Amino acid sequence: MLQKYMDEVMMELECERKNELNERCLEDSVEDYDSEIDYLEESDHYTESEQSDDEEQEQESVQEESQSTLRRMSGI
């Protein structure tokens, strides 16, 4: 009888230990996930500003080509 009670207590303790480990793992996972989201948001912002710079350069290039073409055509 005593052995049965001891086995039940040990099983309960083991379950509690596993639950605590799972909670810690979950907390770590959430922290990792949050960190990843922060990183991605920062890189998205950086990418958007790079894209904006690229678009501005492309517009300038198109304007220069247009002006060059107009000059050649007016010289004809």
Full-model pTM = 0.43
Question: Do the domain assignments include residue 8?
Answer: yes
Residue range(s) defining the domain that contains residue 17: 1-27
Sequential DSSP letters for the chain: -HHHHHHHHHHHHHHHHHHHHHHHHHHHHHHHHHHHHHHHHHHHHHHHHHHHHHHHHHHHHHHHHHHHHHHHHHH-
Question: Do the domain assignments include residue 22?
Answer: yes
Question: Do the domain assignments include residue 11?
Answer: yes
Question: Do the domain assignments include residue 75?
Answer: no
> pLDDT tens for residues 22-64?
888 888 888 888 888 888 888 776 666 667 777 888 888 888 8
Number of structural domains the chain divides into: 1
